[in-house]
Amino acid sequence: MKKVIVTVGILTVVLGLWVSQSSYAAHSDRHCNGCHVPHWAVPESDTDYGVPLWSPVNTKDGLAYTYTMYSSKGMTAMGVQQAAQPDGPSKLCLGCHDGSYARIGDRMANPDPIKYPDGYKAGFAAADLARSHPISFVYDSALATASGTRLNNPLTTNAGLGDARTISEALLDSKEKMQCTSCHEVHKGGYDQYLRWEWRTADVVVDNGDGTTTTLARNDNIMCRICHNK
């Protein structure tokens, strides 16, 4: 009996370590170990605020890249308050999605880790965020006012999630910043790429079942228009 207990205990520990190292269950409801571990957690700091018990080594051991952040003349003109480097929840996401890990199947994995300098098929190539949507910037009513009519007021605009919460309440972090998690709900995202809303990258033709079809245009989606007044 003791041998059975010892064997089961060893297998449990090994399985737990394997799941954590491979991020096998990342973004699933089967296990939490892909992202969260009860040991070796990141201590909370000014840039790692709101940190859960976090697994990926790039944030845990301070090995993260220096990222090239998105910038534009429009952001400068509006006086956007953007962090010099990703912070908050976005920094946690980039613990895996920074472009340094090999992609195995449909999951990011970190077994050794396996390194690909150019970010091959994984996250953002060579820590380049310059061509993605800006993150880690303050999105408040002052920014909405500075934008003229281009941005909706986050304090009064509904987040489009089927309840009464505003953009500020549902999508921004505790410091009123837009982060990766503003658009991606990693625990229960209902749409492709764990997005909170439907997103179409091209026109979609829907069969109505009566011999006719309906074309849903790309710009019919609400995702961008939650914040952008289009």
pLDDT of residue 213: 77
Distances (CA, A) of 68 to 64, 71, 125, 131, 135: 12, 9, 10, 9, 12
Planar angle of CA 151, 46, 177, nearest 5 degrees: 10
pLDDT tens by residue, the chain, 230 residues: 555 554 444 444 433 333 333 333 445 544 676 666 666 555 666 666 655 666 555 554 444 578 889 999 999 999 999 999 888 888 878 877 776 654 433 333 333 443 433 433 445 666 788 888 999 999 999 999 999 999 999 999 999 888 899 999 999 999 999 999 999 988 876 777 788 887 766 666 666 678 887 676 665 567 888 899 87
pLDDT of residue 137: 96
For residue 127, the 8-state DSSP code is G
Tokens at 96, concatenated = 């895996």
Spatial distance between the Cα atoms of 221 and 166, rounded to a whole number of angstroms: 18
pLDDT of residue 218: 62
The structural domains of the chain, with segments of one domain joined by +, span: 2-226
CB 54 within 8 A of CB 35: yes
Spatial distance between the Cα atoms of 196 and 165, rounded to a whole number of angstroms: 14
pLDDT of residue 28: 54
- Cα Rg for the chain, rounded, in angstroms? 20
pLDDT of residue 122: 43
